[in-house]
Structure formats: C-alpha cells, structure tokens
Structure 1
Amino acid sequence: MSQPGVLRVAQLNMGSLLEPGWEERRHEILAWFERLDPDVVCLQEVWENTAEPGSNTAAWLAGNAPEGRWHWCFGGFEFPEDAWPGRDLTGLRFGSAILSRWPIDRTDVVLLPVDPAPRDPHPSWRMRAELLYAHTAGADVFSTHLAPPPAQAYQRIHQVLAIDDAIRERQTPGVALPPILCGDFNAKPQSDEMRFLKANAVLDGRSTHYVDAWETLRPTEAGYTYDPLTNPQARFLNVPPQRIDYLFVGDMFLRPEGAGRILAVDLAFHEPLTGRHASDHYGLVADVRWPQKPEV
C-alpha cells in the first residue's frame, strides 16, 4: 500500500534482451512489483523493436500488471554495428524505462558521450549510453545505464558529467523533492565517477551532490548488486561480486519539511519468488520522505 508522505522507488537492470529466459523472468519481475508495491520504478536494459508494435519489454510489464497500475515511458538508442554477430539489429532499440503510479507529464532521453574510437575492438566498448527523464506528479526521475566494460572508467567520467548537466537543465524549479537518479552505473562506489556524484571528488573543476541511498543507511554492508557467487545468471561476465547499481537522491540540503530524506533502503529482486532470478543484476528499493506527495 502506497504510504502518504513517502515515495517508494525501485531500480533494476532487468536484462530483458541480453539474458536468457525473459519469458519466465518477466513474471518474476511482476511478482516483485507486487511484493514491493513501489510508486516509481527505474528499469535498464529495456528493449523494443520498432518494426514490431508492442515489443517493448517495459510495456509488457505495465500491460500485465493490474489494469491502470502503471504509466510508463521508454528511451533508448540503436546498437552499434556488429554488436551481435549473426543477428539483424535493424530497428532494435536498447535503453531505460520509467514506470510511475501517476501520469508522466514530460519525458526526454539524452544520448550520453561515447568514445568514437575506443582502444578495444569489442562492440561493448561502443555501446550507447542513455539518461531517461520523466516528470511525474511533480517529481523529476532519471534512469541511466553507463558504459559496461570495467576498464572504461574514463568513459563513465564523461558520462556522469553529462548526467549532472542534463539533470540541472531538466529538473523543475521550485519543487520540494530533489531529483531521483537510478541506474546501472557499472562502477564501484570508490570509483572517481561515483565519488564525483557523491560530492567526494572534483572533476574538471566541478562538483555536485547526490545522496547514495545504500551508503547512507547501510554503510557497513557490501550491498552487491552483481554477485556471481549467489546469482547463477551473473556468472557469464566473469567479474567479481560488486555494487554497481545505485539509487540516488539529489541534494536535499534545506529542502522543505525534510523532503528527500532517505528513510529505508534494501536489495530487491535478489531472491527468486517464482523459481528463477529476475535478472543477472539485483535491484534496489528505497523509501524517500516526500511530505508533498500527491494522492494517486
């Protein structure tokens, strides 16, 4: 049940194109929606084929939830050429989605900087990265997915600078709630790109401030969101357990009535409810104080 004065936000990289078993995993995601009962959900690795109406994987979730439960938007870009050998990628778009209890009044998608000539020839080094924006019920919500390869930190630095610029340009003046930023950042908490977002590092003479929900309330816990030791679906990338998915709340300094204060945070989508993990990633759920929250 949605709580008055509290915004519940969930985040998940749902791997709806690249991971096997989507037909089963999408039901697992719906089961988690029912358990969490969030107000807003930020999803990454959403895909659609422009040649196939109704193929959007976030639209499937919204369409198979209780009627009228979700409003949604999607933003993404085409794959680089040769990203998937042997498969025709024409018309295939890959990106983020935002689901909301309330109608979405404005939406926009930003193409984040991509290295035009990376040193590694693998297509993953040329994957496009997006920032999706939705204005809903007076809240500014952003979902993003940054450069995947671990060695591409230099790329993610350019991307978080662009994210900060885009949020500053799009956030609604005068609203009480700070912007909500969620996503798969493919970066560890101690990385320069994450330290920049948390006001712990200055990049290009600039600083900003977003509050890391997990670090704020559970600083002594690892909070791994990509963990091949506990999630069989996470083993194919051959990387160690790490926290790379985040739920941020923008600068809450001097916000009226404590708006933006993080009240609770936990892992989500991290254990099977229907017999199979929802994704190769685990997600997050957080409760954020929002005294001005409108009724649905």
Structure 2
Amino acid sequence: MTSSLTLRVLTLNLWNTEGPLRRQQLLPGAIAALRPDLASLQEVGRAQLSDVLAETGLSSVHQTDLLTPTEAASSAGTALASRWAPSAVEAIELPEAVSAECAIAATIPLPVGGDLLFVAVKPTWRLDSEAARVAQAHTIADFDAKLRGRVPSVIAGDFDATPDSDSMRYLAGRAVVDGTSVHYHDSWAVAGDGGPGHTWTSANPFAAPVSDELIGQSPHARRIDYVLVGSRHNHPEVAARVRRCEVVLTDPPVSDHYGVLAEIEISPLS
C-alpha cells in the first residue's frame, strides 16, 4: 500500500419496486449524489439494478449472478457494487434462510495497493427470528475469515437487528456464539452523531404503513442497517479508521429504509 485512501461506503435497502413511481425515479440521482465507492443494496431486483446505479459509475453483481435464481431473489435480492473491478466474487446462502438471505463477498484491489474484502449481506427480517440471525452472523464472520486480506474487511447491509441483539453483539465482540467470538467496528457507534441512528422508522412515510402491517405498534423505530469494519486483531498491517458515518436519504426518503453512509480512511501502519 503506497498511500492512504478514503472510501465512501453506502448500504441501502431499496424496497424493490414498492411504493409510488416517483421514489423510483429519484433513486438513481439520490444514490449518485452520495458518491459511493462501495455499495451494499438489498431488496433490489436483478432487472432494477442497472437503472438504480446508472449514474454512479459503479459496476455491480447481483446474487442471482452467483447463486441459483429464485423468484424472491430475482425481484428482491442482494447486490454489491464497486468503483473498482473485483478480482474475485463469491456468494453464499445464509443458514435458516426463509427467502433469499445471502452474503456476497468481493475482493477489491484498491488503487493505492492492497485488497479489501467487501461483503454485502441480508439476514432474516422477522422479529422472532433472532436465533436464525445469530447463526447467520456466525456464518458471515466465517465467510469473512475465509476470504479476507491485509486491508480490514467491510461488511454492510440490512441486518434486521438492533445493536443490543445477540447477532449484532456477537459481531461487535460482546457476545459468544458456539464458543466463538469475533470483533468488527460498528461505523455508527464510532463516528455517528451520537443519536439513535434509526434507519427503519414510522417517521418515514414509506415505512409507516409497512410497520403498521408487520409490527402493529406505533411509533416504531430501530437502527438495523450497518457498515461494519474489520478488527485490528485480524488486520495488523493496515488501518481502517471510520472518520464519519451518517444516516442518509431521509429528505426526501427514497425507500422504506434510510441509508447509511460511512467514510473510512484506509492507510498503512508503519
């Protein structure tokens, strides 16, 4: 690695093609305005993906390019996008999946040298499925351990779990699963504005009717979308410092989720 580089990493659940046509029309420009270098997109149709990213200059891969296509995955799957062409891409189905839950990992050669593993994920959503999410978090961490390089990995997605849940506590190094423990930095906890950082909330007019139908309690608000950064313990030669993290795409909203945008400075450790 020859010098430092600041990455802009976006995660956004796109809510496929639900809602009014106007929000679909706003999506490409809204995403492009954030200037992401890496993006994890969930609930995005394979046919929808190229239109959504048309103004970004990012190349993308959809889970149906790598895993057996299903109707659910084709219409509301997970995708990964990067400013730099990956040297390798792999995908896995997550355990105890009920729809199209998966993880996609891309090895990204950075322009300053070094390979960064970027992982886009979408675990199970139901409030009563934390046991499944714990198993899925364990699988995601194993997937990273298998593929990661010198540069700290970045894992981003709609985890459908709050920071105090067992799955997120496990990923943050605060819980043990099957006798194992790991550690990733939660970008919002490191460099957010100190607020709750809610990304799925009935304050969003697109989320309110969905929340009322699926949760049945109002108001409802949770932080469930994350950008996670690999631990120094696993990457002792390269620093990945979260310099900023924002909840984005709130005004106007373009999905039933708000997005999360993190700025991560990658630099060699002397």
Give the TM-score normalised by structure 1. Answer: 0.78
Q: Which has the higher strand share?
A: 2
In structure 2, how many angstroms separate the alpha carbons of the residues matched to 1:90 and 1:210?
Answer: 30
Aligned pair partner of 1:289 in 254, 260, 265: 265
Unaligned ranges ≥5, structure 2: 110-114
Give the equivalent residue in structure 2 for 1:148. 125
Aligned pair partner of 2:25 in 8, 24, 27: 27
Query: Per-residue deviation at 1:130?
Result: 0.4
The answer as to 2:228 corresponding to 1:256 is no
Give the equivalent residue in structure 2 for 1:164. 141
The answer as to 2:51 corresponding to 1:71 is no
The question of whether the paired residues in 1 share the 8 Å contact of 2:63 and 2:73 is answered with no
The answer as to 2:157 corresponding to 1:183 is yes
* Structure 2 counterparts to residues 60-99 of structure 1, below 5 A: 60-62=51-53, 64-65=54-55, 69-76=57-64, 78=69, 89=71, 92=74, 94-99=76-81
> Between Structure 1 and Structure 2, whose CA radius of gyration is higher?
1
Give the equivalent residue in structure 2 for 1:118. none
In structure 2, how many angstroms separate the alpha carbons of the residues matched to 1:60 and 1:265?
Answer: 26
The question of whether the paired residues in 2 share the 8 Å contact of 1:269 and 1:283 is answered with yes
In structure 1, how many angstroms separate the alpha carbons of the residues matched to 2:61 and 2:256?
Answer: 23
The question of whether the paired residues in 1 share the 8 Å contact of 2:6 and 2:264 is answered with yes
The question of whether the paired residues in 2 share the 8 Å contact of 1:78 and 1:93 is answered with no
Query: Per-residue deviation at 1:90?
Result: 8.9
Query: Per-residue deviation at 1:30?
Result: 2.1
In structure 2, how many angstroms separate the alpha carbons of the residues matched to 1:169 and 1:222?
Answer: 33
RMSD: 2.2
The question of whether the paired residues in 2 share the 8 Å contact of 1:71 and 1:104 is answered with no
The question of whether the paired residues in 2 share the 8 Å contact of 1:78 and 1:94 is answered with no
Q: Counterpart of 1:101 in structure 2: which amino acid?
A: R
Residues 29 and 114 of structure 1: is their aligned pair in 2 closer, same or farther, counting only changes over 3 Å?
same
The question of whether the paired residues in 1 share the 8 Å contact of 2:29 and 2:55 is answered with no
The question of whether the paired residues in 1 share the 8 Å contact of 2:192 and 2:244 is answered with no
In structure 2, how many angstroms separate the alpha carbons of the residues matched to 1:243 and 1:15?
Answer: 16
Question: Aligned pair count?
Answer: 250
Give the TM-score normalised by structure 2. Answer: 0.85
Q: Counterpart of 2:107 in structure 1: which amino acid?
A: H
The question of whether the paired residues in 1 share the 8 Å contact of 2:154 and 2:228 is answered with yes
Give the equivalent residue in structure 1 for 2:36. 38
Percent of aligned positions with the same letter in both sequences? 27
Tell me the secondary structure at the aligned position of residue 165 of structure 1: helix
In structure 2, how many angstroms separate the alpha carbons of the residues matched to 1:14 and 1:228?
Answer: 16
